[in-house]
Amino acid sequence: MIWQADEGRRAARRAARGCVPAHERSPAGRSPASRRRGSAYLVILGAATLLTILGLSGLLAVRIELRGARTGEAAAKARVAAASALELALLRVGSDDLWRKNYKHDVWTAEETVGEATCQFKVACQVDNSLLDHEGHPARLYAKARVGDATRVYSVLINDVEVELTDFTHNGDFESGAEGWDNVGWWDEAVCNLQAVTDPRPSGDLCLRVDNRASNYAGPMQDVTAVVEKGKDYTLTAWVRMIERADSAMFGLYVETTSGGVSPLYTRRGVTTEWTEVAATFTATWSGELDRAYIAFATQTTTQPFLVDKVVLTERDGGTALVIAPVPGTWRRESGL
């Protein structure tokens, strides 16, 4: 009995101190309260980890979306830049009479920076590996633009097309009589009479008869100041016929400047009493400011009457020229270039 009382007192003291006998402890050596506290900690840690993962996933998604938006914007800019570069390339190649010589087959030009885009273009013959072999061979013109990581390439088929050049004369066929033509030649005293006649003529209904000439310099003239540009080449053609005997027709482009004087850019061609086509090319050049430019016809030695018809003034040689033109329906976007 004494032993049992002592054991009771010891159990009470252990309970007061929070001690648990070994045979009453949990298999893991911890009390139920301790296990509950550990479980709560793990739940909180797991939830925090899950929230962190979700947050990082959201941030990554935003970054991917922003990167995609930037890529899409760059691609759109590259697409617009490539299309514009192709238009510019068409203009450059089309304004170069020697483009088949000046550009190498399938070789990109040097890079050019326009705004955010870096652009290049090239020309590739579609028949062989040379642009020089034949003018009639079609070629494909490519333009490339790069913006950031985005690159776009467009192309179009081009070919030489013969077109009629603009005639800068007014009433050069004299179907409206002498309208647009003056009867004063190179100098004011070189006057003459101008009359539209029906026969003889090379074509059409009328031609121009020039008679009562005060000197061999007297002849028809027309002002072309508004159309002539310094440094450009112009071709003047006409049909001329002498009335009495053979002589040399003098014709050309004449310029007057504010500094005074006349600069004749003329040539001579032998003409008989039969209709003769004459032609010459001149480079419009002068010093100082241009005051007036005109075309005129005269003779070298005689003051005899003569006939003129079908007067044409154009740029370059003749009434037609080969120009670059895109082939309809061949514009396309390229890939892998």
pTM above 0.85, yes or no: no
Indicate if 304 and 221 belong to the same structural domain.
Answer: yes
Over range 264-286, report the average pLDDT. 89
Query: What are the pLDDT digits (tens) for 52-94?
Result: 665 565 566 556 555 555 567 888 889 999 999 999 998 888 8
Indicate if 47 and 123 belong to the same structural domain.
Answer: yes
Indicate if 289 and 328 belong to the same structural domain.
Answer: no
Indicate if 239 and 301 belong to the same structural domain.
Answer: yes
Indicate if 207 and 131 belong to the same structural domain.
Answer: no
Query: What are the pLDDT digits (tens) for 1-54?
Result: 444 555 556 655 655 555 555 555 555 455 555 555 556 655 566 556 656 665
Indicate if 270 and 199 belong to the same structural domain.
Answer: yes
- Residue at 23 is within a domain: no
Query: What are the pLDDT digits (tens) for 109-130?
Result: 999 998 899 999 999 999 888 8
- Residue at 19 is within a domain: no
- Please give the torsion angle defined by the CA atoms of residues 164, 166, 169 and 175, in that order, rounded to the nearest 10 degrees: 40
Total count of domains within the chain: 2
d(CA 144, CA 120) in angstroms, rounded, equals: 5
Indicate if 219 and 140 belong to the same structural domain.
Answer: no
- For the cut 60, the answer to whether the pLDDT of residue 287 exceeds it is yes
- 280 HSE (CA, 13 A, CB side): 18
Q: Which domain holds residue 97?
A: 30-162+322-337
Query: What are the pLDDT digits (tens) for 147-204?
Result: 988 999 999 999 887 777 788 999 999 999 999 999 987 666 689 999 999 878 777 8
Indicate if 157 and 41 belong to the same structural domain.
Answer: yes
- Residue at 248 is within a domain: yes
66: its two tokens: 């922003």
Task: Provide the b/e sequence for 314-327 (b: ≥16 CB within 10 Å).
Answer: bbeeeeebeebebe
Indicate if 229 and 245 belong to the same structural domain.
Answer: yes
Indicate if 141 and 204 belong to the same structural domain.
Answer: no
